[in-house]
Structure 1
Amino acid sequence: MIGNNTFSNEKSLSQLSNSKLQKEFHLHFPILEHETLIFSCKCAKSDRILLQGRMFISKNYLCFKAPFIYLIMKFDSICNLEKKKKGFFSNSISFFFGKKKYLFTSFTDRDRVFNLIENILNSKQSIFNFENRALHCSTDIPNVASSKSGNLDSAVDLQQSKNTKESELSTFKENNDSQDARQYDFPTLMSNLINLAKKLACQKAVDEYVTNATKVIGIGSGSTIGELNQFSKIDVAFDGADEVDQNLNLIKGGGGCHLQEKLIASNAEKFVVVADYRKNSVTLGENWKKGVPLEVIPFAYVSITEKLKSMGGKPTLRMAINKAGPVVTDNGNFIIDVDFDLIKNPSELNLKLIQISGVVETGLFCGMSEICYFGQEDGSVKVQRK
């Protein structure tokens, strides 16, 4: 049982059960409907940065929700918890799951939360000990048949009762164990910071560059509604990048579509780039280590490879993953990825590459973009302009 000091009366628990928090609890976490929320409060999770969010506590689960994190912990898996009393995180609670540690802080009433969780853990430990004692005592039942005060019929009845009880308990534990294993034996951390960061960057870019006057929008590969021949004038084009340097020069073509993407970008009045923080570099080649993609005529790829080597590059013909042979672009060409290490003068390199006979297009986009939106790891958006 949970201690009486947790709630002043049953009415508060009933009110909480029907509250918006109860609905939010089941909306954000895949918890069975009969699992009732008994407490909720605001706090923060410490993980490199402080993530402000809300903690939800039921009889079996402790959950935490922040803008970019959903954490679900099963009380049965908690090895220990402690209150931090000194240092920067003096108002905090630590949870231990084997070698894993989770730290929560910024509680309004840390002691109340700690006492509640401690009571839940103690109640679960008491139930566990009671079940063990019951099973231990039941193993002595067969001895009743040989005792002077008992008789054979009562011994058989007791033995059957014992077998039935053990069978029911075994079935119950198997069902619950399989369900727990399928769901949350250990803390489940669902974090998709990178995609969320890019989403925020996209939203900001669209809000600032798409107006009522915008008629034709160019988008990177995969979302084509019309062809360039139909809409030769593009108001604004949005696309991603594999890497962006401090002068907004780009490396594109990791997906093999840089020729068509460059056609869209070069025909747009404004070219806007959206990426995440990992693509932001001072110099091209700093973070992107797969080289500059070149779309080449298949007939000439061997001779082109030799010329690239003479320029100090390390060319590699891009091979397909799910089929034999090289990657073939939508235009029927091959792709050669060339590692030039750090590229200090992208425009000069791009000019040299495009002059090689048989090179259709390079993955260097120089002087084309006017702004780039970077989604940061903490959920903010960094804007970089020329």
Structure 2
Amino acid sequence: MTEVTVESLQKQLIPVDTLPTLSSPLENSKRAASYKAMDQYFLPLLASKIPEWSTLTIEQFSDVEPIVIGIGSGSTVVYAAERLGEIKRTFGKVLNDLNLICVATGFQSENLILHNKLRLGTIAYYPKVALAFDGADECDPQLNCIKGGGACLLQEKLIALSAEKFIIVADDRKKVPYLSYGWKIPIEVVNNAPTFVEIQLKKMFGDDLKDCIIRESMPKKAGAVVTDNFNCIMDINIGPIHDVKKVHEQLKSITGIVETGLFPNINCVAAYYGNSDGTVDEIFPEK
């Protein structure tokens, strides 16, 4: 069998620069960033499996350990799911619903998976995730992140931390010198705990606590945002975050806080940013 390389696989895929132009240079660069991230991290996995999988009958695939991919949410991740769907179609003789499973971080990402004809699985049944691709609301030079603008932070963190490698795909507006540069910190809070949590936050951070707001739902629906886990979201501002792990641990120590939108970098290996001029930046965590 001819040697399978990433380059040989990529040549069989549609080059991103030959695709129809999107609505703006930024959208084109977001697509290019996602395609590049997917190619650079998923294709090596596929190349390593093809020599074995190409000899199997469809019945034998039921005994194969599948590749599990986490798909997050956000306008850039849309293109990552699109590229993965193309890869599955192109290499359909070795990629199928038995050996490629996608797990979602929320309702939007479930739809992305299904729309691209990828098989949807659950993290409960497929806990060993090879790669997770997700967006971010902010990302610092060490690739620590703030996530939770879409109120899916608990599910997003569960998928991200289950992955061997976590990859951020976003636009360049999410690249910041430090966290809370422009975003508040979302925290997921048990429904009857916001008052207690706010009291504890005031004790913990004092005058540094500038904002502590329960996130409201859409204008036509009265009340707070309800997460997929039936909790509420509070958005807090305690100023610039430089020690991300410390602040995350402080917040998690408060009873009633289920999870925080601070993602200290544990396994994020790279971030791909689409720029407004149409280019892509590939960033690795600073040491």
Partner SS state of residue 210, structure 1: helix
Q: Which residue of 1 aligns with 2:213?
A: 316
Say if 2:69 is the partner of 1:217.
yes
* Aligned residue number for residue 195 of structure 2: 302
1:333 aligns with 2:226: no
Q: Residue deviations 1:160-216, cap 9 Å, x none? A: xxxxxxxxxxxxxxxxxxxxxxxxxxxxxxx52332221111000001010214811
Number of paired residues? 197
Q: Which has the larger radius of gyration?
A: 1
Q: How does 1:201-216 map to 2 (within 5 A)?
A: 201-211=33-43, 212=46, 213=49, 215-216=67-68
CA distance in 1, matches of 2:264, 2:134: 14
Matched, 1:253 2:139: no
Partner of 2:162: 267
Query: What TM-score do the two structures reach when normalised by structure 1?
Result: 0.49
Partner Cα separation in structure 1 for residue 238 and residue 36 of structure 2? 34
Distance 1:206 1:199 in 2: 11
Shift of 1:305: 1.3
For structure 2, the 5+ residue unaligned runs are 1-19, 50-65, 73-105, 111-119
Shift of 1:309: 2.7
Question: What residue in structure 2 maps to residue 111 of structure 1?
Answer: none
Counterpart in 2 of 1:378?
277
Relative to its length, the structure with more strand (as a share) is 1
Please, which of 333, 345, 349 is the counterpart of residue 247 of structure 2? 349
Equivalence for 1:130: none
Compute the displacement of 1:346 (Å): 1.1
- What is the match of residue 197 of structure 1? 29
On the 8 A contact 1:242/1:254 being kept in 2, the answer is: yes
Q: Tell me the CA shift for residue 68 of structure 1.
A: 6.0
1:19-40: per-residue Cα shift (whole Å, max 9, x none)? xxxxxxxxxxxxxxxxxxxxxx
**Would you say the 8 A contact 2:251–2:260 is kept in 1?**
yes
Q: Is the 8 A contact 2:132 2:165 kept in 1?
A: yes
* Counterpart secondary structure, 1:337: strand
Secondary structure at the aligned position of 1:295 is classed as strand
Q: How far did residue 316 of structure 1 move? A: 0.6
CA deviation profile, 1:70-117 (whole Å, cap 9, x unmatched): xxxxxxxxxxxxxxxxxxxxxxxxxxxxxxxxxxxxxxxxxxxxxxxx
Higher relative contact order (CA 8 A, sep 6+): 2
What is the CA RMSD across the aligned residues, in angstroms?
A: 1.6
In the TM superposition, what whole-angstrom CA distance separates every residue of 1:135-183 from its partner, at most 9, and x where no partner exists? xxxxxxxxxxxxxxxxxxxxxxxxxxxxxxxxxxxxxxxxxxxxxxxxx
**1:285 aligned counterpart, secondary structure:** coil
CA contact (8 A) 2:274 2:280 kept: yes
Are 2:232 and 1:358 equivalent residues in the alignment?
no
What is residue 135 of structure 1 aligned with on the other side?
A: none
Q: Counterparts of 2:141 and 2:273 in 1: how far apart (Å)? A: 12
Deviations along 1:41-84, one digit per CA (max 9) or x if unpaired, are xxxxxxxxxxxxxxxxxxxxxxxxxx968xxxxxxxxxxxxxxx
Structure 1's unaligned 5+ residue stretches are 1-66, 70-190
Question: Could you list the per-position Cα deviations for residues 210-250 of structure 1 after superposition, in whole angstroms to 9, with x for gaps in the alignment?
Answer: 02148111111323311101111001000000000011000
CA contact (8 A) 2:26 2:277 kept: no
Percent identity reads: 42
> Whole-Å Cα distance in 1 between the matches of residues 67 and 135 of structure 2?
21
